[in-house]
Amino acid sequence: MNRRNFLAGLTLTGIATQLPVLAQSASVPRLLKPSRLNPGDTVGLVTPASPILKEHLKWIQLQLGQQELTVKVAPHVLSEYGYLAGTDQQRAADINLMFADPTVKGIIATGGGWGSARILSLLDYDLIRQHPKIFLGYSDITALLLGLYSKTGLVTFHGLLGTSMWNPYSVSWLQKLLFEGKAITFQNSPNVRVETIYRGQAKGQLIGGNLSVLSALVGSEYLPNWRDKILFVEDVGEDIYRIDRMLTHLKLAGILDQISGFIFSQCTACTPGEGNEPSLTLWQVLNDLIQPLGIPAWYGSMMGHIRDQFTIPLGIDVKINAEQGTIIMLENAVV
């Protein structure tokens, strides 16, 4: 199974040119918090990346119905264009449509795969700024989470895809954050160990997502100013040398030298590679590249391509503790 299919399968089924300073957003948009969800609200479904099947759509509608949400399906949710869910224009139009629709209170990506970065230049950011709404997803959807935040200041949410397993654990975090509007403390279940890379505590705006997707956006206008940010990353199905390469890219681009804290959430099914060729361990890579930064950092937070996961707000001020592995929200993420 190739990596793109593996990303999609965990739900239900080259590096950019380096312009480390000029490529980041020139200005910092005013933070926009979307309205919280309430039982009975309508949420819009979009497929910004790889295609899904009709069976997946039925599954999503069932799960969201269990959360007492009404579902509005975008016109091209089931479209196909090769390995994409419709053309770039179709997928972007669906997102613009859902932000413009006054009956839609939140927007959920059905799945990941590949394709979200292709539509960043086609989104109507003025429209989105005027109609801030919850936008939820992860994996390839990282491109949209980062792009929307960087271009409009909208707080976006790294969490369940429509095709994810909406189990009680994951749903409980989503409910606290998006329905109850709480400023919560994220702390792992007792059986999920935290491995401290560098001790300490730090404050900053929490930003991040899938490492592969994030690193491929370096050099574009769809990443934020990184000064004093808390960066979290996660990945899946990558050889260790690829993780090394991507983190090294962030280092060479000046990103790692600007942040105030670092979290490598999970690296699911990340292996040394095939055969008996020598390899570093992931822990050696993190010690080589992250530990010398001298900022609070740890591995093991419950985000990413795992069954039980947090829903994490991007753009919100937090305080982290690298020994305890906690992320404390210093403000709510919705209004």
Residues marked as catalytic: 139, 234, 305
Query: What's the rounded Cα separation, in Å, for the pair 314 and 207?
Result: 5
Query: What's the rounded Cα separation, in Å, for the pair 172 and 170?
Result: 5
Assign 91 to helix, strand or coil.
helix
Q: How far is CA 238 from CA 37, 230, 266, 270, in A?
A: 35, 23, 12, 5
Tell me if 143 sits within 8 A of 137, measured CB to CB: no
- Number of C-alpha atoms within 13 angstroms, CB side, residue 230? 27
- Number of C-alpha atoms within 13 angstroms, CB side, residue 106? 32
Q: Amino acid letter at 198?
A: Y
Write out the two tokens for 36: 């919280």
Instruction: Give the residues across from 72 on adjacent strands.
Output: 44
Write out the two tokens for 48: 């910004």
Query: What's the rounded Cα separation, in Å, for the pair 71 and 135?
Result: 14
Instruction: Please give the order of strands across the beta sheet that includes 326-329.
Output: 185-186, 326-329, 317-321, 201-210, 230-236, 261-268, 297-299, 195-198
Q: Count H helices, E strands: the chain? A: 9, 14
User: Angle at the Cα of 48 (from 301 to 175), degrees rounded to 5?
Assistant: 45
* Closest CA relative to residue 151, chosen from 203, 73, 217: 217
